[in-house]
Structure 1
Amino acid sequence: MKSCLKLTFDNGQTALATQVEQPEELPYALETIGLCGSRPVLVVVGGASNISEADFLRIQRLFVEVLAPIAESLGAYVVDGGTDAGIMRMMGTARTQIGAKFALVGVTPEGKVALPNHSETATDLIPLEPNHTHFILVPGKNWGDESPWISCVATMLANDAPSITVLLNGGEITFKDAVFSVNSGRVVLVIAGSGRTADILVDALRGKATDERAKKLAKSGTLQYIDLIEIEKGVENLGKVIKGLLSN
């Protein structure tokens, strides 16, 4: 394990990063970058592919008006995949937009990402999202290798505090993320109407499933859903649901 790295992005933002090889290194690694104690944890997983412009704007509102303000008011840790794409970019942008101070932690496979100011030559590397405050670089050369680590980091950071996973849209890896959250006993709040994996899981919760994995997850008792369209009716209700889950 490497000790603390300081990353500086082109936008002037800085973040602390650490690299781990084994799960047992995590407690020390988190401590070296200043993440310790017990706080509520909000995990955000999924994607933002093949969605209409109207739904994209609703999801943006969810981040700016609900998720980021709740994390800020509870002093929560937010954990996601950390790359400069989709919902991870939305989370980073929302944090900066509302001037929040909560720790935003990206957990990402080191073999797939380009660190700022490092001269990696591989062209298929994805940049890190520049508004995150912390990164945990985990072993892996494929997307999805980070899934068990995201869940593990969230459990460790929460300690005895509540944690929930918010799941939007997403593909095959998002299914994996849902399984790890469910297996660790974390409530997974699925955003209905956001498409793809999210809607397959919601169909299972409504008893309309054709996907066997989704049926199994729906039976776990830790899956819940709220409708994306609810954002149009006002974010207060949505906020209350999420805040309630993170405060009990």
Structure 2
Amino acid sequence: MGGDGPAVLRVARVPDIAAVLAGAGVPLGVPVLVLVGGAGDMDDEHERLLGALLRDAVLPVVAGLGAAVVDGATEVGVMRAVGRARAAAGAVFPLIGVAAEGTVVAPGHPPPSADAVALDRHHTHAVLVPGTAWGDESPWLADVAGAVAGTRPSVTLLANGGDIAYLDLEHSVDRGRPVLLLAGTGRTADAVATAGPGSDPRARRAAASRLVAAVGIDDAVAVGAAVRRALGAPAG
């Protein structure tokens, strides 16, 4: 899978997540990279920079550690970038998207709304959860990542992003998951990375967390090293 379209799974209750994933052959108890941030409003240049960083510095770490990636499933922004990077690398790690059922177009089903978005075809699995609005998937995404990781380490990588990125960041922090901000990708990631007096209160609150740190998108070596450390690998 991953290229012909994801295997579509449906989950209605948080306690069922692990069983549904295991039943679909998703490996559990592996390190997890959670990728969140810009979607349809992410500009082409930031998406291009992110794709190159993922290809060169992040996905080799994911593949080398036998980790999985969990994101928002759709064919836009950060999700499209990681799907394309995985396909270009010929990687085989699980790429699991999570989306509210009322916001995406599932194969074989009519669009549930006029603004529904296609699932990214390079993902291996798409977990559809209850909801009709963008952001309804946010707590579920954090819980799916937790179910895949189990007791293994996980880290959230935040690039760009709008209002929903703040929700994703908060859900990660609430679950004790460290967050790496990709500074230089714009919008939410930069707002939190540079937060100070007079900044958006959401950015100041996030920046004050000991779990949140920033690393520049132009320093691929530092990004790769930060992801390795967060996922429990020795330095080097």
- The answer, yes or no, to whether TM exceeds 0.5 is yes
* Mapped pair 1:242 → 2:231: no
Describe the superposition over 1:28-82 as per-residue Cα deviations: whole angstroms up to 9, x where unpaired. Answer: 11111112431100000001635473x4432221121122222111111100000
Distance 1:201 1:209 in 2: 12
What letter is aligned with 1:170? G
Alignment CA distance shift 1:121-1:136 (3 Å): closer
Q: In the alignment, which residue of structure 2 is the partner of 1:194?
A: 185
Q: Which one of the candidate residues 102, 105, 116 is aligned to 1:125?
A: 116
Taking a change above 3 Å as real, the CA distance of residues 52 and 133 of structure 1, as seen in their structure-2 partners, is closer
RMSD, aligned α-carbons: 1.9
Opposite residue 163 of structure 1, the aligned amino acid is S
Amino acid at match of 1:62: L
1:184 to 175, 186, 193: 175
Q: State the distance in 2 between where 1:144 and 1:95 align.
A: 25
1:224 to 165, 190, 213: 213
> TM-score scaled to structure 1, two decimals?
0.87
CA deviation profile, 1:178-209 (whole Å, cap 9, x unmatched): 000010010000011111111111122xx455
Distance apart, 1:15 and its partner CA: 2.7
List gaps (5 residues or longer) in structure 2. none
Corresponding residue for residue 154 of structure 2: 163
Q: Are residues 68 and 57 of structure 1, via their aligned partners in 2, closer, same or farther at CA, if it must alter by over 3 Å? A: same
Equivalence for 1:4: none
**TM-score normalized with structure 2 length:** 0.91
Find the residue that maps to 1:108 and give its secondary structure. Answer: strand
Moved more, 150-159 or 58-67: 58-67
Q: Secondary structure at the residue paired with 1:72?
A: helix
Q: Which residue of 2 aligns with 1:78?
A: 69
Percent of residue pairs identical: 38
Distance in 1, Cα, partners of 2:159 & 2:109: 32
Aligned residues: 232
Stretches of structure 1 that go unaligned for 5 or more consecutive residues are: 1-7
CA distance change for structure 1 residues 58 and 28 in 2, over 3 Å: closer, same or farther? same
